[in-house]
Chains A and B, each alone.
Chain A
Amino acid sequence: MSSRKKTLLKVIILGDSGVGKTSLMQQFVNNKFSHQYKATIGADFLTKEITIDNNKQVTLQIWDTAGQERFQSLGVAFYRGADCCVLCFDVTNEKSLNNLTSWKDEFLVQSNVSNPQDFPFIVIGNKIDVDDSKKIPSLQKKLNNITNNQLGGLNYPVFETSAKDSINVESAFEVIAKMALQQEELNAANSNDVNDDYNDAINIHLDSESGGCGC
């Protein structure tokens, strides 16, 4: 491998519509926050280069996704190859918290990751800037119920953030990057093995044209 080449880490942000996925990404990548709500159409990514573990340079490719199903009409092929998945909820919206498990399950089904048992996820509760009175009642307890459940629970690091006031966003993504890097290294090691087998198996197809037109 070329020593100059930076490691590319693919991160997927999931969660219900309106929890602030785009805002988190915008705050982290561009240090911007907008009050205007715009639905995300399809999926879109931003990249940011950061240094982790003091000297390791990585490029984070952060995929922001549409929370509304009607804006995800082409499916979720972009889940493939992810190195880390961020599950977002809104601390003022209990439903968004309860939906985290289904977002996780959907991710594992669609992304086809090789190690679903220990694939790196992290949980982000956004909008902690909002007045306490509007927050989910006894949030910590409910969050514990969801994250500390031994069977199929979301036993992952939890960050409470404010994309608006830029609280905890940086540190959350730092952890995301570290987790993603581990996963990437694991995958790279595995795929080298796989590719070696695969090279021989597929040679027969090499020159066959697969029915495209010549336009």
Chain B
Amino acid sequence: MQLSNNERKQILQTCINNIKHQSNLMKSNLNDNKLLQALKHCSNFLNELRSNNLTPKQYYEIYMLVFDSLGILSSYLIGGSNSKQSNSVFLADLYEIVQYSGNIIPRLYMMINIGTTYMAIEGAPTKDLMKDMIEMCHGVQHPIRGLFLRYYLSQRTKNLLPFDNESDLNDSVEFLISNFIEMNKLWVRLQHQGHSSERELRYKERKELKILVGSNLVRLSQIIDDYTDANEKFSSIDYYKDKVFPVITEQIIQCKDHLAQTYLIDVIIQIFPIEFQITTLKNLLNDVFLNLHPMLRKSELIETLVDKFINCSEESVVEEEEENELFNQFWSFYLNLNELDPTIPIEEHSNLLQSFINLSLSFKNSENFDNLNQIYKHASENLTSTSDSDEEMWFNLLILPINYFRSINTLFKLDNYYDFYQKIQNNKQLQKKISITIIDKLLEIGEPLKDISEIDAIFRYLLVLIKESPSKLDTAKNLGITKTIKINNDEKLITVEFLEIQEKICKIIQLIESDQDDPSKTISNLSYIRKKYLNKSLENIIYTYPTLITKYLYKSKILGYYKPHDTNLLVSNFKNLSIIVDEFYSNHEEFSSSTILKIYLNIANVADQLKLNSISYEIYNQVFVIYEENLKHSKKKGFINPHDSLSGGSIAYESIILIINSLIKTRHLLKNQYEELITKVTLHGSKLLKKQDQCRAVYLCSNLWWWNEILLPNGEKPTTMIEEEKPKEDEKPKMENTNQKEEGESKNEEKENNEEEQDDHKDEEKEKDVDEQEEEEILLYRDGKRVLECLQKSLRIADSCMDPYLSLKLFIEILNKCLISSIYGNDLIDYKYLNGLIDLIKTNIDNLQDQQNEDDEEVENGNDNDEENEIKETVLLKQAIGYFNKTLYYIKEQKELEGRFQNVNIH
């Protein structure tokens, strides 16, 4: 017979109205000192508690009203008589009188109310009253009514239970435990009342009622506290262990009720202090937990218990040396549980193990990994996954400790962690997530990876990321849901996330750092990770090798400074490095030759700095191979403005410039090697596809034939000329100083030379002194005739351009180059040559101006087809004239300030 919610609400409202009304009547009777009348009304409102039709929450509402109203009666009775003596007699009588009340519910509530009022009076027969009241309560066997009645008993007796001595304490504890046992029975019995179809409803009701049962345990805990506060010598822990724990847990086990067990164990853990839990832990785990309802999820209870230990870890309840013992107690429970029930679901295993991991991680001794290892060992040996969701649970176990890592050592010592990590190898996504979390943590720690064992300890987790294929397409990528980047001529899509991961791997490579004084160890470790890890996916080395090679090269350079005379070691190092770059090239020549070219040039320059001319010569040859194989004909996408010498050009042109830039820095190649290489690059330059590229490449090559001392590295002497002529004397220290000062400038100079900047005024000033004093002391590679040849060649190319405006622009660029050559002391570029070039430019400008004037007339006459073109050409001419005027102004300045170019005609 189910009532609707509305019906229940109406019944509740009626109950409330009745209680309020009767309570008011009772109050006014009490004010008039009509006690018997008042008791009658009291009995009336107590009758409402006999209702069958309320939910537990509704019943609790009327219970609270009744509770308050009974409080009024009680305070009347306390003040009811003048002397204590007579009050005591009066209450004893009253206690008897109310027993004649007709219904048991009102009768017992009144008895408890008066009995507890009586107990508060000094000299009352407290223990008899306790015994009597608890006995009488047996009379109510209806679960909800019985629970509330006993709850009332427990609320009213609070602060009245005696604890003057241990015998009192025993009686009070017995009283509370007995109430607890009876309430638990009522509570469990409720589950089996009514039709079986109402099982769910009963369960819900019971869940609401649970705090009534739990409140007894709270009282128990309180009275033990109170007694302990009053008796210093009393050992509450022993008392709990011997007198309380066994009785209440036996009751919990015996009731065999799922809900009761779950809730009450939770309460025991919450309500009794951690010291009590430690003392009874073994029993709780092995005698209680193992005997609970087989379907009960022990993991939840374990979690509560472990959380309690973790929350108290700051209070040092468990000393460092006891931590292992604590863990072992949990662990042996887990093993026992496994033995007892081999069919525990995977999720339960996962939750239990998570709790144990959390417990170990909370320990003060953070360097002790035995416990964690034990957990992961067990997990990898015994757990088998049958589905993806199982693997996700493994993932939870793996991700937990990472945040606690304090050093690489942690990973190193957690050997079994890796075994367990391997268990999810079928689910690469999960493995990836864990590996990324590990990397992030390691990067946060930033500790160097010193030796192979450390490298292995970490890189085994990186393999899954190293091997990840970026080109594998998925739907999200195809539809553009995942952000992607197109590479390799749009043939390949990679995700931003993938790039970020590769970047992280590179950052880990940067962490490889052995003894600072012995770079060869780091170098051999770098080789090791290449062979063992990085080249496991040749597709991905494009992302990691540049970092690897750069780091390797840097270390080789340092090694060269440490051991400048160990040529064999240095050479073999570069040979190994070249194997790495070769591997890189052979796998990625199609789309990454430019990158590889730059890498080779860097290596060649470092080899030159270390005076390993055979190595650098070989590498330059390799550079030309790459150029011819892959770069010579590659084009660059997008528009290139031919008039702008700074906007770059084809890939081939840019490659030539890179080679020139690199060669210009070398100082230790043999003379014939050097000549061969610069001839080669000049030749390649002159064979570029476009006229403007040819022209610029060739005039830039002119620099290679005329070294300038200010480009020399600090304090170093070039050896290229030594082969033929020995230097006459060592450099003077004074000269070295001069060089030092100008080193900073020299870098700028390189760029300006190459890109034909006009304003190198500053350099020139300083250069004058150097020129005069130093020329004889340092042997510089200089061949003025070749310089002139290059400039002549570039003039011819410029002249052969079909576009007169481009020709003009190139002429002026060459003029600037000539000015610099002249300043650098090349006598072959004399004033006659310069005047000739200036005249040539002027003539060209005049011609173009005339032509434009004619064109303008045509436009005015209405022939405006080429209007747009005309405007463009006007602009180009204007720009050229501006550039030319600036150049002339520069010459003028040089004349005035430096006395240069005296015979050059600038008017």
Contact = CB atoms under 8 A, between A and B. Distances in A.
Contacts of A206: 21
Interface stretch (A2-10, A116-124, A162-170): A2-10
A195 B158 CA distance: 33
A210 B60 contact: no
B260 to A, nearest CB: 14
Given A44-B218, A80-B64, A37 B311 contact: yes
Kindly name the residue among A36, A59, A205 whose own CB sees the greatest number of chain B CB atoms within 10 A: A36
Contact of B103 (A72, A73, A214): A214
Interface stretch (B49-57, B191-199, B286-294, B761-769): B49-57
Interface string A174-215: 000000000000000000000100110010011001111111
A114 interface: no
B64 A212 contact: no
Contact of A41 (B21, B214, B229): B214
Interface in B207-242: 207-212, 214-215, 217-218, 221, 225, 229
Interface stretch (B267-275, B509-517, B570-578, B581-589): B267-275
B270 A41 contact: yes
A41 B11 CA distance: 29
Given A41-B211, A74-B60, A212-B52, A5 B79 contact: yes
Contacts of B48: 210, 212
A205 B272 CA distance: 48
B53 A211 contact: yes
B4 to A, nearest CB: 15
B675 interface: no
B315 A35 contact: yes
Nearest to A47: B159
A40 B217 CA distance: 11
Interface residues of A, number: 42
A195 B155 CA distance: 29
| Interface majority SS (helix, strand, loop, mixed), chain B | helix
A41 B271 contact: yes
A156 interface: no
Contacts of A2: 30-31, 76, 79
A66 B533 CA distance: 57
B389 interface: no
Interface string B45-70: 00111111100110011011100100
Interface in B123-151: 140-142, 145
B535 interface: no
A38 B271 contact: yes
A151 interface: no
B232 to A, nearest CB: 15
A211 B51 contact: yes
Nearest to A39: B270
Interface stretch (B12-20, B365-373, B599-607, B680-688): B12-20
Nearest to B141: A215
Interface string A1-24: 110111010000000000000000
B209 A42 contact: no
A210 B18 contact: yes
Given A35-B315, A202-B18, A77 B47 contact: no
B267 A78 contact: no
Interface residues of B, number: 61
A38 B21 contact: no
Contact of B47 (A6, A44, A210): A210
Given A5-B76, A75-B57, A209-B47, A202 B21 contact: yes
Interface string B15-51: 1011011001000001100000000000000011111
Kindly name the residue among A32, A77, A78 whose own CB sees the greatest number of chain B CB atoms within 10 A: A77
A41 B56 contact: no
Kindly name the residue among A6, A40, A74 whose own CB sees the greatest number of chain B CB atoms within 10 A: A74
Contacts of B274: 36
A74 B56 contact: yes
B104 interface: yes
B592 to A, nearest CB: 51
B695 interface: no
Kindly name the residue among A2, A41, A44, A73 whose own CB sees the greatest number of chain B CB atoms within 10 A: A41
Contacts of B272: 38
Given A4-B79, A36-B273, A211-B52, A74 B211 contact: yes
A32 B63 contact: no
A197 to B, nearest CB: 12
Contact of B18 (A8, A36, A205): A205
B20 A212 contact: no
B58 to A, nearest CB: 9
Interface in B819-838: none
Contacts of A209: 47
Nearest to A41: B214
A99 interface: no
A39 B214 CA distance: 11
A36 B20 CA distance: 41
A75 B61 CA distance: 9
Nearest to A196: B24
Contacts of B63: 77
A74 B141 CA distance: 21
B698 interface: no
B209 A74 contact: yes
A195 B104 contact: no
A34 interface: yes
A38 B52 contact: no
B19 to A, nearest CB: 10
Contact of B140 (A78, A205, A215): A215
A206 B208 CA distance: 31
A50 to B, nearest CB: 16
Nearest to A71: B211
A73 B208 contact: yes
Interface string B289-323: 00000000000000000000001100100000000
Contacts of B214: 41-42, 71
A210 B13 CA distance: 12
Nearest to B317: A36
B105 interface: yes
B64 A73 contact: no
Interface string A48-66: 0000000000010000001
A46 B160 CA distance: 12
A180 to B, nearest CB: 15
Contacts of A205: 14, 17-18, 21
Contacts of A74: 56-57, 60, 208-209, 211-212
Given A2-B79, A73-B208, 16 more contacts: A5-B76, A5-B79, A34-B225, A41-B217, A41-B271, A42-B214, A44-B158, A73-B207, A74-B57, A77-B64, A80-B61, A81-B68, A199-B24, A212-B103, A215-B50, A215-B105
17 contacts: A8-B71, A38-B272, A39-B271, A41-B271, A42-B211, A42-B214, A44-B215, A71-B214, A73-B208, A74-B57, A74-B60, A78-B64, A80-B65, A81-B68, A202-B17, A213-B50, A215-B104
Nearest 10 Cβ contacts at the A-B interface = A212-B50, A42-B211, A36-B273, A39-B270, A77-B61, A77-B64, A75-B57, A41-B214, A74-B60, A4-B79
